[in-house]
Structure 1
């Protein structure tokens, strides 16, 4: 089964490239998903608000101590949840920044695409959004 990543998933774009993409959109609530540069297999939900890009980590396992859990069945469910106001992000998700080319996927991520899309996602209401197996 082929994995259908959300159009807002940009793969291996860097933090700087992400900031440029969101800055071009320049709308509060613009967002995209990208691969984490520091956590292997992790994703980042990046949200634009008042010329600042806020980054929330999305993980398949682990979470910071003392952080409450919220689970999501898939990335689309996570996005729908955070489109609502007052869900713990700097601002709610309003404008998806869609990729125009296929996402840049790291080889390790490519191996686990199908299982990653079928995991349960968790939000921590902090700077981390954790995805659990």
Structure 2
């Protein structure tokens, strides 16, 4: 995560679960709000979570030797990107191919949430760095 840009680091919430992610996006987000978290089931992968009412849609992002990609439920890996930032920006601009991701319009910046008064349920947000695989 250290090698990623400021935008990616600002939306990376570390090891929060899917239920906490949904509560965060429902309470502090709006249509198109998104964040990045660690995958609960695949070590080294991340989840891009996007609010599109009435749901929070989750997309697994995996890394291989030739870059980052979004992984379909079928396990199929799609277009490769050199960094998480490039991948997210491509889906934000709608130029990434092969999958229908809801519009990514509003990054849910964790630094802004840390300064607001929200419940104890959201106090654990991992801020330590982790190495890139």
Give the TM interval when normalised to the shorter protein. 0.5 to 0.7
CA distance in 1, matches of 2:21, 2:48: 10
Q: Deviations over 1:69-103 (max 9, x none)?
A: 20111111011111124753341100000113595
Structure 1 residues 24 and 86, CA gap change in structure 2 (3 angstroms): farther
CA RMSD, 1 decimal: 2.9
Q: Give how far 1:59 is off.
A: 1.0
* 2:96 paired with 1:79: no
Residue 7 of structure 1 corresponds to which residue in structure 2? 10
CA distance in 1, matches of 2:125, 2:9: 10
Q: Deviations over 1:39-77 (max 9, x none)?
A: 111110000001200000011249666836201111110
Structure 2 spans left out of the alignment, 5+ residues: 115-123
Q: Deviations over 1:84-126 (max 9, x none)?
A: 24753341100000113595168xx82xx2x34xxxxxxxxxx
Structure 1 spans left out of the alignment, 5+ residues: 117-133
How many pairs are equivalent? 110
Normalized per residue, the structure richer in helix is 2
TM-score (norm 1): 0.68
TM-score (norm 2): 0.68
After TM superposition, list the pairs within 5 Å mapping 1:50-129 onto structure 2.
50-61=53-64, 67=76, 69-85=78-94, 87=96, 88-100=99-111, 103-104=125-126, 110=130, 113=131, 115-116=132-133
Q: Secondary structure at the match of 2:80?
A: strand
Q: Is the 8 A contact 2:11 2:107 kept in 1?
A: yes
